[in-house]
Amino acid sequence: MTAASRLDDARLYLCTPDRDDLAAFVAGCIRGGVDVVQLREKHLDDRSLLGRARLLRAVCGDGGVPFLVNDRPDIALDVDADGVHVGQDDVPVSLARRILGPEKLVGLSTHAPDELDTAVAEPVSYISAGPVVPTPTKPGRPATGLDYAAQATERARRRGLPCFATGGASPETVPAMVAAGVRRIVVVRHLTESRDPEGAARRLRTVLDDAIERLGGDTG
């Protein structure tokens, strides 16, 4: 199964920085229901980042989930990651696509309707939309609210693209996100700050799946 086909059914996307227990943490999150993993680490030198990316490439390969590197298509290429995720101020999607080729995943963050207009015309594999609420993961980034995440989800769906909403995902907030139209979420702090990441992932995935099934099971 290709990374793109696995992405079609993905709902719970973990974005994590490096940490001492990185392999065990991510493996537990995958067992709990995470089905996409991104390594987002801005503070390591290239050699160290390569080592951590290789480690997660193996963990995600064993878990059968796509693994992406944030912002660095060169690192993704070197470790044979499933793809790269870039932001509005990072490497352009077109360059990431040229580096990685047509089969790899290239994701793009969006935060506003004009960025969404551009994103759906790019050679992307998926987009993210948010943050729905302010988050310390992206200091200074204003919240987009649920309306934008729902708009992005629908626009992406019409183009055959998955859309993952970012910002503030937890078992308490996910039902409202789903009711607004979101079907896929990115999670960071709810898992990275948990004392039981596997259990936290399992509860979050259960709440997400249940909320979607109550509305007819549409992945979106």
The gap between the terminal CA atoms of the chain, to the nearest Å, is 20
CA angle in degrees (0–180, nearest 5) for 4-8-14: 85
Q: What is the mean pLDDT of residues 104-118?
A: 96
Higher-confidence residue: 216 or 69? 69
Stretch 94-104: mean pLDDT, rounded? 97
Q: Which of 212, 205, 217, 200 is nearest to 28 (CA)?
A: 200
pLDDT tens readout for residues 113-160: 999 999 999 999 999 999 998 877 666 678 899 999 999 999 999 999
Separation between Cα atoms, residue 211 and residue 173, nearest integer Å: 11
What digits encode the pLDDT tens for the residues 33-64? 999 999 999 999 999 999 999 999 999 999 99
Q: How far apart are CA 70 and CA 17, in angstroms?
A: 10
Which of 109, 126, 124 is closest to 183 using CA atoms? 126
Digit-coded pLDDT (tens) for 200-219: 999 999 999 999 999 887 76
CATH architecture label of 3-214: Alpha-Beta Barrel (3.20)
Q: Residue 220: is its pLDDT beyond 80?
A: no
Q: What is residue 139's predicted lDDT score, i.e. its pLDDT?
A: 67
Count of residues in the chain: 220
Q: What is the pLDDT of residue 203?
A: 98
For the chain, the domains span 3-214
Both tokens assigned to 63? 């878990």
